Amino acid sequence: MADAAALIEASGSRFSDLELIGRGSFGDVYKGFDKDLNKEVAIKVIDLEESEDEIEDIQKEIAVLSQCRSPYITEYYGSYLHQTKLWIIMEYMAGGSVADLIQPNQPLDEMSIACILRDLLHAVEYLHNEGKIHRDIKAANILLTENGDVKVADFGVSAQLTRTISRRKTFVGTPFWMAPEVIQNSEGYNEKARL
């Protein structure tokens, strides 16, 4: 809990009640109360000294999140640099991820699956209309609010398509969730192949 105390002190008491809720490839994620926003938030804390090779990916994630305005995408509130730590402040999703709901020998009921997929498709439609490719949609990146609203998160490997470059020639994502043409590295692909 020393890390949480250091965060509270470094934030000038903007945040309170910090609690470590997860550890990711880029850093630790805390839940806390943001006094400026007057709501619970998720705070991803990334040590830039330890993540030197991923700084470009982190910048891309922030750029994509800051441009998204959809009820089906996790909300981004801002980023702050404190010494060597980057804090990314985002909407707190109290319901966890769809991956948390999946239990061995206990499949989700059909109605729950239909609701999740409906909202996921709204998110994908929004991203495609904005010319964005998520490139890593999977159960762990589909989050739920306390009320069961479904939102897509984790834009660390996302890409922005421009009008002149409508195809991507990169291989990024989680292979279990990739389209065959992406795995085979076919001659370019557009947003329809990459959720």
Binding site annotation covers 44?
Answer: yes
Answer yes or no: are the C-beta atoms of 126 and 147 closer than 8 Å. Answer: no
Answer yes or no: are the C-beta atoms of 77 and 32 closer than 8 Å. Answer: no
Q: Pseudo-torsion of CA 33, 37, 42, 44, nearest 10°?
A: -110
Of 28, 119, 136, 154, the catalytic one is 136
Answer yes or no: are the C-beta atoms of 8 and 16 closer than 8 Å. Answer: yes
Q: Phi/psi zone of residue 60: left (φ > 0), alpha (ψ -120 to 50 degrees), beta?
A: alpha
Spatial distance between the Cα atoms of 191 and 175, rounded to a whole number of angstroms: 16
Is 17 an annotated catalytic residue?
no
> Which of 28, 29, 35, 37 has the alpha carbon at shortest distance from 13?
35
> Known binding site for ATP: residues?
44
Residues of the binding site: 44
Would you name the residues annotated as active-site residues? 136
